[in-house]
Structure 1
Amino acid sequence: MKFKKTYKIIVGVIIFFTLPTLLFFCFLYIKYHEPLPYGSKGKKADDLATKMLVAVNYEAFVGTDVFEWTYKNRRHYKWEKTKNICEVYWKQYKVSLNLNDSRLHKAHVHSFKVDGDLAEKLIRKAVKYYENDSFWVFAPYRVFDEGVKRELVDNNDLLVTYKNGDSYLWILDDHGMPISFKMWTSQFPIDGIEVLWSHWKTTETGAKLPTLIKFFIFGTEITDIKGTG
């Protein structure tokens, strides 16, 4: 009898916490889920992508030697773009990523260099952080990266698909400045969710980077942005 009572309490607690989450997910799925749109490749798609690059000042991005930013007040980055080396800072850790040669990655704890399993663990984490966090800062500049496909949708929007199959539909203003994009990715269970890009900051070199990326009520702040030549 005591076991049954305990079992009912446990089941009740699980339902109490999971049912609202499940219902909320179902609501979001029904309301926002969209199939991946069809687009057309070619000059018009490339022209729209170029228009976006002009709006965010791609030339200034290319001419910037060093970018710095902080992601969600949790991780700080210093990317020496010309050397393609990025230092990743979080908590008491610092990892120097050589993006040209992974054999040259270095890990530190409290300014002391570490090796072995601990170094490998920190490096793996830093690589994951960098790949995720840098995308949210520099995605508009990556539309002509190797292997990226560009398609024009409804004559106004730009569908960008990466090598891993993730797709993003950029919605631009009349000048080509990004307003938002919709996502079809393996990382998110609802296709077509819209993410707003706003509060753009112009760096010292002239490149434009977002300081707020928001979907639903959730916002990601990008602070301490610097770009030096």
Structure 2
Amino acid sequence: MKFKKILKITAGVVVFLTLPSLLLFAFLYFKYNEPIPSGETGREADLLAEKMLNALNYEAYQNTNYVEFSFKNMHHYKWNKAENKCEVIWKDFKVNLNLNTPQQSEVFVANNLYKGKDREKLINKALSYFNNDSFWLVAPYKVFDQGTERRAVTTDEGKQALLITYTSGGSTPGDSYLWHLNNEGVPESFQMWVSILPIGGLEASWNNWTTCETNAQLPTFHKMLILGIELENITCK
């Protein structure tokens, strides 16, 4: 009898905790989920991508050799773009990440060089953090990266938007982003169709820009639904 009572209480708690989450997910799914749009590859898409790069001073970004930033005050980066290396710091861990050959990276735990059994796991975690967090900083500059497909899309409002699909590279190849630009070509937001999100087409803002020391344009904040993504302590050289 006691067992049945415990089982009943446990089931009630599970329903109480999960039902609101399921209802919220269902609401968000039916409100925001949409299929990935179709578009045309070719010169029109490339011109739209070039317009965005010019609006953000791509040349200044190319000439930026060093970028330092923090992601949500949780992960901290000292990125040597010129050498394709990055110091990644979180909690008590630091990885001197070699982006060309990650397995040559150095791992530190509590400031001590670490060569234990979790070394590879920590390198992979640092690489995953870097791929995700740096994307929120420099994604517009990656539209001509190797493995990208560019498509010009006409939105329901009759405006041109730029659909970028990453067919290779990074941590989640196959992800797609639809960039919405203002008249000058500056990104205002993008919609995402990505493997880590169960809802396709969620939109995040790209309208909190700062001009760093090298004149490259970088964002400081993104808003997605009620969530905020802060990028702080940005330094460029």
8 Å contact 2:212–2:218 — kept in the other structure? yes
State the 1:14 CA deviation.
0.5
Write out per-residue CA displacement over residues 186-223 of structure 1, whole angstroms, 9 at most, x where no aligned residue: 11000111111221111100111111111111001000
SS of 1:116's equivalent in the other structure is coil
Alpha-carbon distance between aligned partners in 2 of 1:13 and 1:65, rounded to the nearest angstrom = 54
Q: Which amino acid aligns with 2:83?
A: K
Aligned to 1:176: 185
Aligned to 1:150: 150
Aligned to 2:130: 130
Write out per-residue CA displacement over residues 82-141 of structure 1, whole angstroms, 9 at most, x where no aligned residue: 000100011121100111122320001222211131322221211111111111111100
Alpha-carbon distance between aligned partners in 1 of 2:32 and 2:103, rounded to the nearest angstrom = 43
1:159 aligns with one of 160, 163, 178: 163
TM-score (norm 1): 0.97
Aligned to 1:74: 74
SS of 2:185's equivalent in the other structure is coil
Query: Given the alignment of the two structures, is residue 194 of structure 1 paired with residue 203 of structure 2, yes or no?
Result: yes
Q: Which amino acid aligns with 1:2?
A: K
Give 5+ residue unaligned stretches, structure 2.
168-172
Alpha-carbon distance between aligned partners in 1 of 2:35 and 2:93, rounded to the nearest angstrom = 41
Alpha-carbon distance between aligned partners in 2 of 1:121 and 1:86, rounded to the nearest angstrom = 17
Query: Given the alignment of the two structures, is residue 19 of structure 1 paired with residue 28 of structure 2, yes or no?
Result: no
Alpha-carbon distance between aligned partners in 1 of 2:125 and 2:188, rounded to the nearest angstrom = 30
Aligned to 1:224: 233
Aligned to 2:94: 94
Query: Given the alignment of the two structures, is residue 208 of structure 1 paired with residue 217 of structure 2, yes or no?
Result: yes
What is the Cα-based RMSD across aligned positions, in Å? 1.0
Q: Which amino acid aligns with 2:122?
A: L
Alpha-carbon distance between aligned partners in 1 of 2:207 and 2:153, rounded to the nearest angstrom = 22
Aligned to 1:64: 64
Give 5+ residue unaligned stretches, structure 1.
none
SS of 2:174's equivalent in the other structure is coil
Moved more, 215-224 or 100-109: 100-109
Q: Which amino acid aligns with 1:92?
A: D
Write out per-residue CA displacement over residues 45-80 of structure 1, whole angstroms, 9 at most, x where no aligned residue: 101100111111110110011001000100100110
TM-score (norm 2): 0.94
Aligned residues: 228
Alpha-carbon distance between aligned partners in 2 of 1:103 and 1:219, rounded to the nearest angstrom = 33
Alpha-carbon distance between aligned partners in 2 of 1:160 and 1:199, rounded to the nearest angstrom = 21
Aligned to 1:106: 106
